[in-house]
Amino acid sequence: MSKLTFKETLILLRKRKGLTQSELAEKAGILREMISNYESGKTTPRESTLRKIALALGADFDELMNLMLEEKGADEQVKDETHLLFRREDEDLRYVEKISDVVTLPVLGKVHAGDPNLISEQEIIDLIKLPRRIGRSADYALEISGMSMIEAGINKGDIVTVKIQSNADNGDIVIARIGENYTIKRLRKDENGEVWLEPANSHYPPIKGKDFEIVGVITYMLRRFK
């Protein structure tokens, strides 16, 4: 009998537990679409995500990880790409040219770089492959609409990677929730304790005097070159 593939092993382990894809996703704390993508072979999970899945299935993480890496090693090499990236560490634009060791992040809805707008945190509109050293610093990605952050190098159509966290430092570019709506802005704080959201476009006013919640910090900006 031939050896089960990684995706076949996931399906078998899930069915042995009597779980649907939605139930497994809930137990692992991830999106159902991610389980579907892993089981169909469209993508493979990051190490941290695989640990959650293995725990939810009561499976051996090392065995699953080794199986996945064996198959990835046998796959065709990912074609070289050139990207323009925004680095949180130095707020500079840099080129990263070769992608070999990759991870896949879900792109969830769109977030407006302008007035706050509604996004769906559950809708995956795309999947994006990134170098592991970049992808491992984020939990998901978002597509940008609007132009309020253009002076920070973030334009309409760009993809930003997001680390889920509820706090941020002065100057960080963040995803903030205002009521039921979301926006991307730079977080500002002053010595008096005032906190506000600042656009990077002189045509947009800062957002002050409103209650908002930080839901994530931008780690990278990605622009594809055609």
Distance CA 120, CA 109 (A): 6
- Let me know whether 212 and 123 are in one domain: yes
What are 202's two structure tokens? 């002189």
pLDDT for the residue 125: 67
- Let me know whether 145 and 194 are in one domain: yes
- Let me know whether 30 and 141 are in one domain: no
pLDDT for the residue 108: 67
Catalytic residue at 17?
A: no
- Let me know whether 69 and 143 are in one domain: no
Q: What are the tens digits of pLDDT across the range 192-221?
A: 889 999 999 988 899 988 789 998 899 888
CB of 212 within 8 A of CB of 185? no
Q: What number is the average pLDDT over the span 59-73? A: 82
The one catalytic residue in 100, 129, 148, 208 is: 148
Q: Which residue reads 């963040």 in tokens?
A: 174
Mean of the per-residue pLDDT values of the chain: 77
Radius of gyration of the chain (CA): 19
Last residue of a domain, one of 16, 46, 74: 74
CB of 196 within 8 A of CB of 125? no
Last residue of a domain, one of 74, 101, 128: 74
- Let me know whether 154 and 203 are in one domain: yes
Neighbours of 87 (CB within 10 A): 14
E strand segments, 102-194: 102-112, 124-131, 140-145, 159-164, 173-178, 181-189
- Let me know whether 114 and 40 are in one domain: no
Q: What is the extent of the structural domain holding 43?
A: 6-74
What sign has the CA pseudo-torsion 70, 72, 77, 81? negative
- Let me know whether 167 and 92 are in one domain: yes
- Let me know whether 108 and 26 are in one domain: no
Last residue of a domain, one of 26, 55, 74: 74
Instruction: Tell me: pLDDT of 72 over 60.
Output: yes
The one catalytic residue in 185, 202, 210, 226 is: 185
pTM value?
0.53
C-alpha dist (Å) from residue 6 to 9, 100, 101, 127, 186: 5, 20, 18, 19, 41
Q: What are the tens digits of pLDDT across the range 89-100?
A: 444 434 333 334
Q: What is the CATH number of the domain that holds 59?
A: 1.10.260.40
Q: What is the CATH number of the domain that holds 199?
A: 2.10.109.10
Distance CA 88, CA 161 (A): 11
Catalytic residue at 185?
A: yes
- Let me know whether 52 and 132 are in one domain: no
